[in-house]
Structure 1
């Protein structure tokens, strides 16, 4: 199969977008409403997913904080240093993932909002674009800031404990600190620059058909 060099998505204008939708202006009114409702439902679906993910990561943060303060308040615990470090790693990774997923979810929500903005003029008029105030608070952006706060809090706590730990490369290495630290750095790198990045390029789709056996 001939392969082509992957290319980044090219920008298109509103006119080309509407033409790609089977010439939206030439569709029947019922068909236009169907396309518009699909975009509107997709927007609502992304908002629903956004808050479901937020609850999911809030649970992780609650567990991590509870574990951290429980271990911190324990005096008779041989592995206290290492256990605190593990919890710090867990708290940092989950809060970083939460923050990046918030940004990703918001981008998809904004995508469908912009599609609705384009389509509604020809279906229902400027209903969604008409607002009653020119300034308010963004619920999703505030949630994004809170997730950033947790990420910085766990990150600073992790660095502080790492600074005071026994991780000394010139002497005996504490592998119970080195291993989780390496995993944390690796996963963080993958979130930013590896598999965690959504790249929209030309895709090759492979299809397979199952065979059936009849009597």
Structure 2
């Protein structure tokens, strides 16, 4: 006896025809569906930047507070406790922002895929047709020309840089104020060398990992971006009937 698929389980969609068939019983038309997709996509982008503003405001305040206390500190225990608290608070909010960025990117990509699949029958391949990115990648050193950087990827890289910043700050607080002898570590690593290395990695990452489309920096063969259909449709939970 074989197990029959449960109609309430998620439905995996990997084919365009299968995706379009989801709307066969829809009483409206594809234009209405497509308009709704564009509206939700626009809403998700607006939410993305609102969240970014929120986290930048909080983290910027923590950074300002940290350096205000640091500039007035006399190495007493209360000042160190404040610095340590602020640095940990900054790290927590930075990690939270990183997760929020990835979550927002997930939903942005989700609705972009919907647009890619639906638009052909409504307005044609408008969103899929873009300027040739490879042509502009050759003009990186033309400082006034366009370049295919992804704004959201830059935001994520800066987010990771900020996490690294707080980690270095916390490490420096420990190494500067712990009573345990750390001379063997300090002979190889210092606050300045770590910060310099982190800055170099940050600048390299901003160039290498923030270009739109598939990252081709380390690949010999150039690949064009394509939309992979990989959706799942949530199942409906059946409410058990109760005897009245």
Q: Match for residue 139 of structure 1?
A: 151
* 2:66 alignment partner, one of 55, 65, 68: 68
- 1:163 CA displacement: 4.0
| Distance change >3 Å, CA 78–CA 60, structure 1 → 2 | same
Indicate if the aligned counterparts of 2:9 and 2:235 stay in contact, CA closer than 8 A. Answer: no
Q: Match for residue 18 of structure 1?
A: 20
Other structure's SS at 2:133 match: coil
Matched, 1:124 2:127: no
Indicate if the aligned counterparts of 2:91 and 2:163 stay in contact, CA closer than 8 A. Answer: yes
- 1:10 CA displacement: 3.8
In the comparison of the two structures, how many residue pairs are matched? 168
When normalised by structure 1's length, the TM-score is 0.68
| Distance change >3 Å, CA 202–CA 62, structure 1 → 2 | same
- 1:204 CA displacement: 8.2
Matched, 1:154 2:152: no
Other structure's SS at 1:129 match: coil
| Distance change >3 Å, CA 7–CA 33, structure 1 → 2 | closer
> In the TM superposition, what whole-angstrom CA distance separates every residue of 1:154-193 from its partner, at most 9, and x where no partner exists?
022123323444598xxxxxxxxxxxxxxxxxxxxxxxxx
Other structure's SS at 1:73 match: helix
Q: Which is worse superposed, 31-40 or 151-160?
A: 151-160
| Distance change >3 Å, CA 204–CA 81, structure 1 → 2 | farther
Matched, 1:42 2:40: yes
Backbone CA RMSD of aligned residues: 3.1
When normalised by structure 2's length, the TM-score is 0.60
Q: Which is worse superposed, 155-164 or 13-22?
A: 155-164
Indicate if the aligned counterparts of 2:59 and 2:93 stay in contact, CA closer than 8 A. Answer: yes
- 1:133 CA displacement: 3.2
Q: How does 1:1-215 map to 2 (within 5 A)?
A: 10-22=12-24, 31-75=29-73, 78-135=77-134, 136-166=148-178
Indicate if the aligned counterparts of 2:9 and 2:236 stay in contact, CA closer than 8 A. Answer: no
Other structure's SS at 1:122 match: helix
Structure 1 CA distance for aligned equivalents of residues 118 and 37 of structure 2 = 9
> In the TM superposition, what whole-angstrom CA distance separates every residue of 1:69-102 from its partner, at most 9, and x where no partner exists?
0110113565011100000111101111111211
Higher relative contact order (CA 8 A, sep 6+): 2
Other structure's SS at 1:21 match: coil
| Distance change >3 Å, CA 9–CA 73, structure 1 → 2 | farther
| Distance change >3 Å, CA 118–CA 202, structure 1 → 2 | closer
